[in-house]
């Protein structure tokens, strides 16, 4: 008997990040694809993990995460935002934000229910919805006249409310600061989403993994801080981006107790617990490394400037990223075809790899997205500059 796997997952191939990193290796390209930072983690964080392994902290961690880590997560959030979560009941340590997202969708959305996501979307949202056997509706971000990616408040409300009582969304997944555009949802956008979520009785899953990497003194507000939203929001975040430890896969969910219990029900049978020696090390990062996070943010901002200015000098249109790791460039003026074609040509001919934004949308032919390429600036400055030199040499050919 040939079992080719379940129908609801059969259309998934390798993720775009794996494919593009392999393409970079094959072509000897500079990899501005996958958002894996070139920067080191804070020394005290690395030393703590090594120490923990050396002293034998190598067996299962508590399923919810250590109490110390959960307290460090909720303390850091309270310091930065003034928002309080109870570390005993409202915080769950997960295997990266990815597990928080998957367990939240699987634990809180019934098969057949509808989830609203925003295009371009991080690939795991769509896959988590498939894992749960749920359905999705997408709403597109669009660039406005001032070069900022924006949501249409009416469109997102209509998507959440659906065609009537029986068609309300069960959950909305948002990501601010946003991968791939670097957009931060405005107060107006957040309040439109919040009002519709309240009216529809829907939950909001708010992916905030770039929450501390916000540039130009801008501020990011979690939708969980909006009126009436604390009770219906799950915040997902991660230590990966904040401390340059994406390979440690240590993240968390913050939510009211009943929602955390539902997420835990799924999480405990996915992984049971996260890696034990990493938890005290991430605790040190959250308790002691605010200064290092500030320096990382400043470095990323300078890299952002170098990459965005360089791409604009090469004739690409780029909206300003206000946070995170990525810039999205419209490369139609380079005449290399649509985004997937352009990305392949640039890898083989110029020696630079980016990610086609079409991998993050339902319809790759949608003209809003069809010629957009995501380039990552969480890389050494030298790599960013060399990538720009290579693109320049190729485009002048």
Which of 29, 31, 34, 181 is in the footprint of ligand GLN by CB under 6 A?
Answer: 34
In angstroms, the CA 382 to CA 396 distance is 21
Q: Site size for ligand GLN, by CB under 6 A?
A: 5
Residue 97 binding result from ligand GLN, ligand PMP, none, given CB thresholds of 5 to 8 Å by partner type: ligand PMP
Contacts (Cβ under 8 Å, ≥6 apart) of 189: 150, 151, 153, 156
Could you give the 3-state DSSP secondary structure of residue 114?
Answer: strand
Q: Are strands 250-254 and 233-238 parallel, antiparallel or unpaired?
A: antiparallel
Residue ranges that bind ligand PMP, judged by CB under 6 A: 35, 96-98, 122, 175, 179, 207, 209, 238, 240, 246, 249, 251
Q: What mask of x and - would describe binding to ligand GLN in positions 175 to 194, judged by CB under 6 A?
A: ----x---------------
Cα–Cα distance measured from residue 168 to residue 160, given in angstroms and rounded to the nearest whole number: 6
Q: Of 179 and 222, which CB lies nearer to ligand GLN in the complex structure?
A: 179
Distance (Å, rounded) from C-alpha 235 to C-alpha 82?
A: 15
Cα–chain-centroid distance for residue 214?
A: 14
Q: How far is the CB of 193 from ligand PMP (least distance, A)?
A: 17
- Least separation in angstroms between residue 336's CB and ligand PMP is 26
**Shortest reach from residue 145's CB to ligand PMP, in Å:** 26
Q: Smallest distance from the beta carbon of 220 to ligand PMP, in angstroms?
A: 13
Q: Which is nearer to ligand PMP, 33 or 351 (CB)?
A: 33
Please select the residue that binds ligand GLN; options are 24, 31, 32, 35, rule is CB under 6 A: 35
User: In the bound complex, what is the minimum distance in angstroms from residue 56's beta carbon to ligand GLN?
Assistant: 31
For residues 32 and 24, is the Cβ–Cβ distance under 8 A? no
Q: Are 65 and 270 in contact (CB under 8 A)?
A: no
Q: In this structure, are residues 69 and 282 in contact, taking their beta carbons and an 8 Å threshold?
A: yes
Written as one string, the DSSP assignment of 365-392 is: T-TTTTTEEEEE--S-HHHHHHHHHHHH
> Considering just the CA atoms, what is the radius of gyration of the chain in Å?
21
| Cβ-based nearer residue to ligand GLN, 234 or 378 | 378
What is the closest distance, in whole angstroms, from the C-beta atom of residue 17 to ligand PMP in the complex?
9
- At closest approach, how far in Å is the CB of 35 from ligand GLN? 3
Q: State which residue, 42 or 251, has the beta carbon closest to ligand GLN.
A: 251
Looking at the Cβ atoms of 37 and 280, the one nearer to ligand GLN is: 37
Binding partner selected for residue 251 from ligand PMP, ligand GLN, none, CB under the kind-specific 5 to 8 Å limit: ligand PMP
CA angle 143, 298, 314 (to 5 degrees): 45
Contact 232, 199 (CB under 8 A): no
Q: Which two tokens stand for residue 333?
A: 């003026």
> Judging by DSSP bridges, how do beta strands 326-330 and 355-356 pair with one another?
unpaired
Q: Which is nearer to ligand PMP, 175 or 332 (CB)?
A: 175
Q: Which is nearer to ligand GLN, 34 or 226 (CB)?
A: 34
In the complex, the residues that contact ligand GLN under the rule CB under 6 A are 15, 17, 34-35, 179
């Amino acid at each position: 008997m040939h079992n080719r796997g379940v129908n609801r997952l059969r259309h998934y191939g390798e993720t775009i990040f794996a494919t593009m990193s392999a393409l970079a290796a094959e072509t000897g390209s500079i990899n501005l694809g996958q958002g894996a930072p070139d920067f080191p983690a804070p020394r005290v964080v690395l030393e703590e993990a090594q120490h923990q392994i050396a002293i034998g902290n190598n067996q299962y961690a508590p399923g919810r995460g250590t109490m110390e880590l959960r307290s460090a997560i909720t303390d850091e959030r309270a310091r930065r935002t003034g928002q309080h979560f109870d570390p005993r009941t409202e915080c769950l340590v997960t295997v990266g934000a990815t597990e928080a997202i998957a367990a939240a969708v699987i634990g809180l959305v019934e098969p057949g229910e509808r989830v609203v996501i925003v295009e371009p979307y991080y690939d795991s949202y769509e896959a988590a919805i498939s894992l749960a056997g749920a359905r999705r509706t997408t709403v597109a971000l669009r660039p406005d006249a001032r070069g900022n990616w924006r949501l249409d408040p009416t469109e997102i409300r209509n998507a959440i409310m659906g065609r009537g009582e029986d068609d309300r969304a069960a959950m909305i997944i948002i990501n601010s600061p946003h991968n791939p555009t670097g957009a931060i949802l405005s107060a107006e956008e957040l309040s439109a989403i919040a009002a519709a979520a309240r009216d529809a009785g829907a939950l909001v899953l708010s992916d905030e993994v770039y929450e501390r990497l916000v540039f130009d003194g801008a501020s990011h507000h979690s939708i969980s801080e909006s009126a009436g939203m604390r009770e219906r929001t799950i915040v997902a975040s991660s230590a990966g981006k904040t401390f340059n430890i994406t390979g440690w896969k240590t993240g968390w969910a913050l939510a009211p107790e009943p929602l955390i219990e539902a997420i835990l029900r799924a999480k405990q049978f996915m992984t049971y617990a996260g890696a034990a020696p990493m938890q005290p090390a991430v605790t040190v990062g959250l308790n002691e490394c605010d200064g290092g996070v500030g320096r990382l943010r400043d470095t990323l901002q300078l890299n952002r400037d170098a990459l965005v200015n360089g791409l604009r000098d090469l004739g690409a249109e780029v909206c300003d990223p206000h946070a995170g790791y990525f810039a999205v460039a419209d490369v139609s003026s380079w005449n290399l075809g649509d985004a997937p074609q352009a990305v392949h040509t640039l890898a083989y001919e110029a020696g630079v790899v980016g990610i086609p934004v079409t991998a993050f949308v339902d319809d790759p032919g949608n003209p809003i997205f069809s010629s957009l390429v995501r380039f990552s600036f969480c890389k050494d400055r030298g790599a960013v500059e060399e990538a720009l030199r290579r693109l320049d040499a190729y485009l002048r050919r």
